[in-house]
Structure 1
Amino acid sequence: MQSCDAGRLAGYLLPVLVVPTGLNIRQARQLAGRSKVLAVKEQRVHGLISPLRLHSLSVEPGTALDGLICGDYRLVSPEVLEQPLDAWLLELIRQPLLVGGEEELLGAIFLEHVLHSLWQIMQEQSSVLKTLLELLDEAICIVDSGGRVTGWNQAAEKMYNYSAREITGQKLSDYFSNLVISKVMRRDEIIRANYHRPCPDRHVLINAAPVKVGSKIVGGISVEKDISETVQLSQELNLRTVRLQELEARLSQITVQNQPWQDIRGGHGGLKDVLAMARRIATTDSTVVIKGEPGSGRELLARTIHRASRRSQAPFARLDCAGVGGKHWEEMLFGGARTPGMLDELTGGTLLISSLEELPVAQQYQLLRLMRDGRYISAYDEKVHRVDLRYIFSTAVDLATLYHRGKLREDLYHQLNVVVLAMPPLRERKEDIPELFQYFVRYFAGQYGKAIQGWYPLVMSALLNYDWPGNVRELRSAAEHMVLVTTDKILQPSDLPAYLSPAGEIIAVDGSSKLWLATEQAERDLISRVLQQTGGNRSRAARVLGVPRSTLYYKMKKLNLL
């Protein structure tokens, strides 16, 4: 293998042997061997001859050397050895370089030796590339700047049934359409682990990048992992579950009234604790405060408590304090001069007051009197009305913090601080993401009339790697986006919202990893995580993952998780 000095003049320096005049060819060849430049010198250097030229001359051995040497050369200082080869190519075409001084010669550089060395480097690199291509299990395709195939390994032959002999030198576009390799060359970009369908019966994960010399694109390389068998198996298994999913959806609609808690999905320990407490107090009229970040499911929990209570047949209403001035808040609740308030139609039901942290202190006293007395004076008809209500509050800030900051009256603080349910954010219950995502995908697939049968592992990997600042609401929107934009029955990484897939790149994969490892590792991590959260219960894990138990068993066996 050639040294790393191949780009510098130093990589082509040959040693010099100073000899006197009067030698013949036989003597010169014996002295030079195959590696030394002879410098013929008396008072000064009369000329040079390279070992390559010396041994290729077709002359009699007794022929005088003096008449065959090159007297035209350029004497240069040793500092030039650190300079790039391409800066001296034109000079080498005209004459060889003698490095050093007349008294001390370090070596010489000849064009024929440079060309010979470059040819050897090219041969070695070609052999390395050929060996590498045949060692890889992925299909490799290399094209030049014109899109003609210059590299095509055995895996590509097997995948596409075109031999290297047949396709090499031909335009790749004559054999395939929608070429990813052409796109990356045209856009000067790199893609990794991108799902692609090069032909109707073939599914691949592809890495592709342009090949550059400096800033000039001279070709492109693609690396493809065949996942057709996995996709087809997944499609077949998902088709078998479609009918089951439809039946489950119908059953869910029938039983929703009798099972109000089933809409809150997830198995996270913190969520279970919240639901256990909520079930215990749902049948009472106790005031409830639900603390949690926006989008974490506070209103869903409030509505579920209402549906599970004795007031389930009475109205449920929500009054949002966010962005509402005190006077307007009063009119919405108690009524105004021209319109009645929501309390007029709410007796016997449940009132959710959301964003408690935004309620002005001036209105907090009115709310406290309403809760204590169960009556109010309507501004609409100026009469006293009695109202029987259950109160539920939601807040993003805990009650003690609001009280100590002076944003919550002390008497109202003690009135509310009875039962506080803290909804965990989605980033703390990521094991619930597969179940929630499956639920939302089914829901929106029904809404938009799409037969979504599943998703690729890289989709779930992207969902699990995101922190979800918008919580369940943001996940719901992401699922709706994917159902809307997909053109396939299997959700693909390219269907992900842009913020889950920056710059169109599907998922970050370690450059040292193989494509099949990226896919399998995502599946292995997901299945392991769900099994851990379900205590090793495969039936429940299969339900969370949205696959039949037989599919989960097959995957576990394939991934050595059994």
Structure 2
Amino acid sequence: MIKALVIAPYEGLIEIMREISEEVDDFELHTELGNLYEGVEVARRSETNGFDLIISRGGTASLVKEVVSIPVIDIQVSGYDILRLLTLVKGFSGKAAIVGFPNISQGAATICNLLDLDINTITIMKDVEVEGRLKGLRAEGYEVVIGDVFTVEAAKQLGMNGVLITSGKEAVMESLDEARRVYQLFSKLHEEVSVYQSIIDVDERMIGVMNMEGKVKCANQHFNAEFSNAMIENLPEMKEIIQSVYKTRTKQQNMLTLHNQLWNVSASLNEQYVILYFEKAFSNQTQRQSEEGKQYAVDVQTTVPHVLMTGKSKQIQEVMKQVDQYSQMDEPLWIIGETGNGKDAVAQSIYLKSKRNNEPFITIHCELLKEGQLTELLNEDFFRYHTNGIVYLKRMDRLDTYSQKELYQYINTSTGKMPRWIVSSKDEIAIHERDGTIDHDLFTLLGRLIIYIPPLRERVQDIEDLIPVFISEFHSKYSKQIVGIRQEAMKELIDYEWPRNVDQLKQVIEQLVLHSHSYYLEKEEVSSFMTLLKQRMEVNDVASNQIEVSGTLKEIEKQVITKVLEEEEMNQSKAAKRLGINRSTLWRKLKS
């Protein structure tokens, strides 16, 4: 039995490996997601776990080969893989180019010639060439770039649409054949060089030990479960701490952003090594479990994903123009739009295009803030730790009036340097002196620049551009063979009003891609799905507006309170105001 670690640079490869693992009986396959240097960390962490070899793809496989002592098998890109992608991009608007190493570009060029496709093919020999080549293509009017994960990510950072060449099942099966041959050659050597290093855990805290060069020499299990070595070693603030400890030979206390959270870090010198102790800075941080994973009221991101904004409508073109313009400013910005219409994408795009993109992007989820937590953040002077970054106050309309006034006083009376403020709220906000959902003074202070995102139903011409982008994304996520959508099926989607906007369109495309078994999304399956969607929306609307009046007065009263709470998105302060009672009375009536 060959024990193999599969490092998948993209999610769709994981699905293929799961299918193949049920078909082969001479492999014990363990699959983890990791692209490029993330994949390198997976390999480093797993090398001593008894794996005979590692299977990966492209640039990730090349990097892993440099850091591990066990064999690494590279999944090759087949002609089938390239052909599928070339068929997919025929549905994209704009000029397209293939950018890749010879094993990708040469085969792609041949297929393009055979199919008479007008797709430029560029060969690169080193990854450092990618950015320059892509900038040149962008200057020539190219909008779509086809390549590996590294090339696709680089294209997205430049605002281009990157389409990933995925590996099909046939290419993966060929890599397993190669793995069998390599295993026979290296099995004896593998037994001789396998080294197991055990770490003694003597403390419940997260402890790491670093040398003068800033390299992690050892750590306990709690440390390894929370951080990666690369995360710690590549953090500029950590390097400063290590240098300061060696220079002063005194204990250092600092607050750092790690793993999208704030940490108190204690560092002290022990002979030639620095011992680090990590503890969370805010023990009462609000947490909510969802299908997507953990979400915190305070989310500190050091890496923000690039989200492509696309569309031909005048409205979205104006939004994109404002993003470019406002990203170079430092004034506060307010983003207004309906739910699901891309307010987060606009905020993140402004951050990525700004001169502050080397600092953390801090999101305050106003609907998740517990009572008194904003006060704690202000008293701890939390925002002054990130004066060079951007603070995104998401869904300000979910924050109670008292907290809004408290935030206004803090910002308005501060004399020192502050971060740049970006705020978002829903479209139907009321801004009044007394009875509004948004405090008038706070809006005046933070709404000096405003971006309004029109709902999708007012810019339906953007749907035709969004759908191929979403198909491309889910193509790589689920490793499906879909290459486009029929025009009559496209019309079904264009004719719908999309009450939850772009997010809802993306969810529908994901479901259609996931359940489709052909190369195109067909009209029949789209019509069937949209009929079910409309029926479900109608049922939900009717159910949400019904109150049973056959019960007792107390039961009816509780139904009314519950209904108002739902309409106010569980905000008790707003619900109490609508009902004409205070929060204590509201709480008592709900409990009775």
**TM-score normalised by the chain length of structure 2:** 0.39
Greater radius of gyration (CA): 1
TM-score by length of 1: 0.41
